[in-house]
Amino acid sequence: MKNHIFPAFRLTVVMLVVIGVYLLIVYGGSKVLPTQGNAETITHNGQKFYVNIGQEFKSEKYFHGRPSAVDYKADGSAGSNKGPTNEEYLAVVQKRIDTLKIENPAMGNTKVPVELITASGSGLDPNISEGGALYQAKRVAKERNLPESSVIELIKKHTDSPLLNMFGPSKVNVLELNIALDELK
């Protein structure tokens, strides 16, 4: 019995030290970041918004983000857990496509960007692709009585490049883009 308890105890102590050191490194590293490990927030019109959590925008004068399987509730982040062959899921996706085509009639039969019709794994993705924003540009420009070129320029200005211009797609934070639209004179 001694042959098993003491090695197990030593291993437990060593792992507690290793994990403790790791946690201290992660915590200390987060304090070096500009947000000091806290969520990035924006205050707009007296209301506080979290930049890294998807927001719902229903008005036609705003860009719409990815659909959410959890109705944009951060306390219950989750995906729908329905696969690509699930009939109920396919019906939901088709309904989203139909809705987008009705909201954006100027796009005609242009292919709908996938992130505008499928929810992310967390249901809280704050970003869409540049193509997803450009798909909605005509509608937003028309609703706000702005030249489409001004809206496209704003999209380009708020598009973040991939990491090192190599890893992942370019993306647009929908909240930041919509706030910039509100501030556009």
Q: Binning pLDDT at 50, 70 and 90, where does residue 69 land?
A: confident
Residue 120 has pLDDT above 80, yes or no: no
Element at 50 (helix H, strand E): strand 47-50
Dist CA 146 CA 81 (whole Å): 40
Longest alpha-carbon distance in the chain: 80
Residues 102-107, mean pLDDT to the nearest whole number: 88
Q: Nearest Cα to 148, choosing from 107, 87, 99, 90? A: 107
Residue 106 has pLDDT above 90, yes or no: no
Q: Binning pLDDT at 50, 70 and 90, where does residue 3 land?
A: confident
**Tell me, what's the pLDDT at 14?**
96
Q: Binning pLDDT at 50, 70 and 90, where does residue 185 land?
A: low
- CA dist list (Å): 152 to 4, 136, 149, 177: 67, 10, 5, 11
Question: pLDDT of 29-56, one tens digit each?
Answer: 888 877 777 778 888 888 888 888 888 8
Residues 167-173, mean pLDDT to the nearest whole number: 89
Q: Binning pLDDT at 50, 70 and 90, where does residue 74 land?
A: confident
